[in-house]
Amino acid sequence: MYSKNNIVFVQEEIEDKLGPMLLTAYLKSRGFNAEILVNPEKNLNKLNKMQPTFIGMCLLSPSADSILATCRLLKRELPASMTILGGPHPTFFPSVVERDGVDVVCVGEGEKPLLQLLKQYDGTVESIQNISNLWVKKGTEIVKNSVSEFLSEQELSELPNCDRSHYYEHSSLRNNPHKKIWSSRGCPYNCSYCFNYAYKEIYRGQGRVFRQRSVDSVIEEIRYISQYGWKCLEIVDDQFLMDPEWVLEFCEKYEREFKLPFACHSSTRQIKPEIVPQLKKAGCSVVSFAIECGLEDTRTSVFNKPITNQEIHRAAELLYKNNLPFLTFNMVGLPDETIEDIYKTVELNQEIHTTYPWCSILQPYPGTQIAQYMKERGFIDDTRKINYSYFQSSICKDHVKQNMFFNAQKIFAHAVKTKMTLSSFKRFVLKPPFFLNRLYPIVFYWYYGKDIRARYGLSWWALFRYWLYSRE
């Protein structure tokens, strides 16, 4: 009977997401029907024709209200379908299963739990109530199952290629020359603004957090992606350079077969002399790493990121000497941050000649150490007010600081690129002319769009078309 079970992953964003692409491919390889549907509210008729057994959704903390509203709508329209939420928010707050319209949540990795869900479901909640990683609503009771072991490196290497076909009815995604791929899962670090610390606690004793696919499985997936066409590949791993031997093998095999650029992310400590020249030779077009703050003490004690300015200079100099562009991640928005503190971050980026200076406004996600830090200092009241985008505004209670963070973030890239002085930075952030202040978002999006275009080989028309499509 279970072979009739199927699942449709729905999402509101016009964006090709690796999670749903991987899960649909995995479940289809096991004999089940799995699909992806974009913008379910506008495609209710199509969803009704599908009559899925399960409707899956990825839930991020900033989009909780919107996704839960969609859950309630879909439950009203398709009462026979069971809704299941996965992603970061249900992983750290599985009690969201108690909300109206939600039947099941998946904590952590979803491949094996969803496969068991489709295998075991016979139309009754009892048939799925004991599956690892799942919290299941059973009347007024919530059945809470513990997590199973992480997928091993061998299992990750044997996963099928992401199924991208569902997205390509949307021309903006089909024609997008920027494609994404993954080669590893997990991060060994515990930055206070990230969920990694809590994630490790959930999975304590269940295997290694950081796991890497085999090089050959990654190369095979890049071959598969080639049929869809691409100009630049983004490897989305948090720590692509973690294993030097793996990276060198990848560079050798990639260079031999592909003549197109790729981008990757790393920590400054993994940017090493034996790796950087090989990355450049293989076609790497940009390496990204996080600075976050120009003050060492703050970076260590508040962000739990014990990296010195000297290490940042060393990594940047190595990339600069090898003519390898780099992007830095920076943040504004801490409780005690002054305009001088923010400028220290600007100044550090100026000193290392950052190619693509990227700055966000801190969003203290619920459950993170930084959220607790800010609550204890009375800087914020409610982490549920966080923005979907980290480019919008700060949720701090102090409106003067809110405005400072907004202005500083918007002109950050300009301040770095033009070598703006502290006095000028103060004037433009704290006391800008009214008419000029209104132009700051344009300044920001000009640099943001220009840098994306340079990194991923996109045309201005492609950027504009994708923006229009996303707005729609």
Q: What is the pLDDT of residues 346-382, one digit of tens each?
A: 999 999 999 999 999 999 988 899 999 998 888 887 6
Burial tier of 253 (Cβ tally within 10 Å: 0-12, 13-18, 19+): middle
Least confident of 97-111, 166-180, 358-372: 166-180
Q: What is the pLDDT of residues 271-321, one digit of tens each?
A: 999 999 999 999 999 999 999 999 999 999 999 999 999 999 999 999 999
Q: Which fold has domain 153-471?
A: pyruvate-formate lyase- activating enzyme (3.80.30)
Q: Select from 2.60.40.10, 3.40.50.280, 3.30.300.130, 3.40.50.300 the CATH code of 2-144.
A: 3.40.50.280
* Region 106-132 average pLDDT: 96
156 has a pLDDT exceeding 80:
yes
DSSP-derived 3-state class of residue 40:
helix
Q: How far apart are CA 183 and CA 211, in angstroms?
A: 9
- Global pTM reads 0.92
What is the per-residue burial (b if ≥16 Cβ within 10 Å, else e) of 327-358?
A: bbebbbbbbebebeebbbbbbbbbebebbbbb
Q: How far apart are CA 371 and CA 2, in angstroms?
A: 43
Q: How far apart are CA 177 and CA 232, in angstroms?
A: 6
Tell which wins on pLDDT, 458 or 430: 430
Contacts 24+ apart (CB under 8 A), 79-83: 80/51, 81/51, 81/52, 81/53, 81/54, 81/55, 82/53, 82/54, 82/55, 82/121, 83/54, 83/55, 83/56, 83/57
**What Cα–Cα distance (Å) separates residue 331 from each residue in 74, 287, 421, 446?**
37, 18, 19, 19
| Per-domain residue ranges of the chain | 2-144, 153-471
